[in-house]
Amino acid sequence: MRLSAIAAVVGAEVLTDELGVDVDACCACGADLMSDVLTYTRPGALLLTGLVNPQVIRTAEMADVVAILFVRGKRPPAETIDLARQVGIPLMSVSLTMFSAAGRLYEAGLRGCDLHGRS
């Protein structure tokens, strides 16, 4: 699903306009534990999280995450946004809870990162 469609489905604000939203996410993963991101995502995934520190960007970069959607109205500090720009990871923010954002995206056709043959 294109990031532009993701933003529209959940009503997200794009925080890094210059990186564009014409990128596709193959699946989505919601996590606040960065160890879970490394374990349960796959390259090309959208990450839903409430963590806004620079470590989120570093973890997303290692996991080849295509974009990050901050939930619960969270907005990252300038240093996190700057790091995301440097590594080319688009950022979005939405006031929805992680559960609600994930549900809306699932309903729109974006599935979870199926790592074990289940959906």
Share of the chain above pLDDT 90, in %: 88
pTM, 2 dp: 0.94
Spans of all domains in the chain: 3-107
- The tens digit of pLDDT for each residue in 50-64 reads 999 999 999 999 999
Measured CA to CA, the distance from residue 82 to residue 24 in angstroms comes to: 22
| Dihedral in degrees, nearest 10, Cα atoms 13, 65, 5, 69 | -30
Convert the pLDDT of each residue in 72-87 to its tens digit. 999 999 999 999 999 9
Residue 55's Cβ-side half-sphere holds a number of Cα atoms within 13 Å equal to 8
- CATH topology (fold) of 3-107: 3.40.1390
Span 87-96, average pLDDT: 98
